[in-house]
Amino acid sequence: MDSVSQDAYLAVNDREKMCATSLTQLRIALTASWTARTASPLVAWTPHNPSSGQCAVSALVLQDYCGGEICRCVVAGTPHYFNRIDDQVVDSTAAQFGTVAIDYDTSTVRSRQRILRHADTRRRYELLKGQVERFLVELDAVAQAIGRVDYGHMGKDCLRDQTIWFGDTNSIVIVGEAPARTGWVKSGVAWHDTAGKLLPSGIIMQKLLAILGKELLAVTFIEAIKCFPSDRRYLKDLAALYRPTLTQQLRILNPKLILTMGAIPTQALIEEPFRRLSDVVGRRYAMGESVVIPIFHPSPISPRGYRDNVPIFEMIQRKMWEETP
């Protein structure tokens, strides 16, 4: 291993981030960090296919954090790199091939030295590594800021270290209201209770996301309030208190689409005042490079939770989400 790549490899591992940083979070960090400058010059990179041409440098960065092997196979005549970690295939850029099958069994192991012998690959790797590092550092800084919020008598138990469920990508982020004692911050899995059962709101959201061709747990989930509210009458004030950290998290994740579930997260993210949620649901609001669309809370006790959300999701699917370049 040459000195530059070895130093980079050891520097990350010496910080003991391998075990502390989940693969899912790293995948989100990679997705947020891919640009035309980190893509192979041999492909015509577009933001509509962000993983295109990113396989070698992404595999190198994942190895920095998680160890394992880097493997190479051929997909539709194109060399493709992926990771094998603890005997499991981890392919952070498989989406670039769409529905084309990838035969991982025909792969061979490639050393870092061999991959990094090309100056352009080394340059793109260093760039991507730095961007991923900044992404993770910025998220950690927001977590620290969450821990400093003084919610007083309005809340209990700050959730600084568990405020984001990382889906497969950060293209869509769903913003909920506040954590529940029996919800995902206790179970460890979004939309599931402590017994591992899918919550009623999760059942409805699963049906709605199916309209977009998305799996429930593949979509990133975040809540406007970062503590357990001591009483529901404090929800609006708590959401205002946590608004700066929520907007910082969304800025870092930089999704294409933000769905706000109900009035509380909607009030936290859109500037337009409203008397009734129905006045703003389904409308598009700009937030940086993202689009915010309020939706009804997918509650099973309200017919609007599914019935009136269906046209909104159909509109998203038809007009913006599945747009082709």
Task: Give the per-residue pLDDT at 188.
Answer: 85
CA within 13 Å, CB half, 202: 17
- For strands 108-110 and 69-75, give the pairing: antiparallel
Q: Give residue-wise pLDDT tens across range 23-54.
A: 888 988 999 899 999 999 888 898 888 999 99
The residues, any chain, with a CB within 8 Å of residue 194's CB and separated by 6 or more, are 182, 186, 187
Of residues 154 and 8, more confidence is placed in: 154
Apex 244 CA angle, 239 and 250, nearest 5: 95
Q: Exposed, middle or buried: residue 194 (CB in 10 Å: 0-12, 13-18, 19+)?
A: middle
Task: Give the per-residue pLDDT at 230.
Answer: 95
- For strands 257-261 and 169-176, give the pairing: parallel
Task: Give the per-residue pLDDT at 144.
Answer: 93
The backbone torsions φ and ψ at residue 294, rounded to the nearest 5 degrees and listed phi first, read -70, 145
Task: Give the per-residue pLDDT at 320.
Answer: 61
Q: Give residue-wise pLDDT tens across range 280-304.
A: 999 999 999 899 999 999 988 888 9
Task: Give the per-residue pLDDT at 185.
Answer: 82
**pTM score of the predicted model:** 0.82
Task: Give the per-residue pLDDT at 20.
Answer: 37
Is pLDDT at 3 greater than 80 in this prediction?
Answer: no
- Give 299-308's long-range contacts (Cβ < 8 A, gap of 24+): 299/200, 299/201, 299/204, 300/200, 300/201, 300/203, 300/204, 305/201, 305/204, 306/204, 306/207, 306/208, 308/281
**Which DSSP state fits 173?**
E
**Domains of the chain with CATH codes:** 3-134 (no CATH), 152-321 (3.40.470.10)
Which helix or strand (DSSP H or E) is residue 26 part of? helix 23-33
Is pLDDT at 279 greater than 50 in this prediction?
Answer: yes
Q: Give residue-wise pLDDT tens across range 228-271.
A: 999 999 999 999 999 999 999 999 999 999 999 999 999 999 99
Mean pLDDT computed over 117-137: 96
Q: Give residue-wise pLDDT tens across range 156-183.
A: 988 877 789 988 777 899 999 999 888 8
Task: Give the per-residue pLDDT at 44.
Answer: 84
Is pLDDT at 323 greater than 60 in this prediction?
Answer: no
Q: Give residue-wise pLDDT tens across range 70-115.
A: 999 999 999 999 999 999 999 999 999 989 999 999 999 999 999 9
Which ranges constitute the DSSP H helices of 179-234? Answer: 184-187, 200-211
Closest CA to 156 of 191, 182, 180, 184: 180
Q: What are the helix and strand counts (H, E) for the chain?
A: 11, 12
Q: Give residue-wise pLDDT tens across range 226-239.
A: 999 999 999 999 99
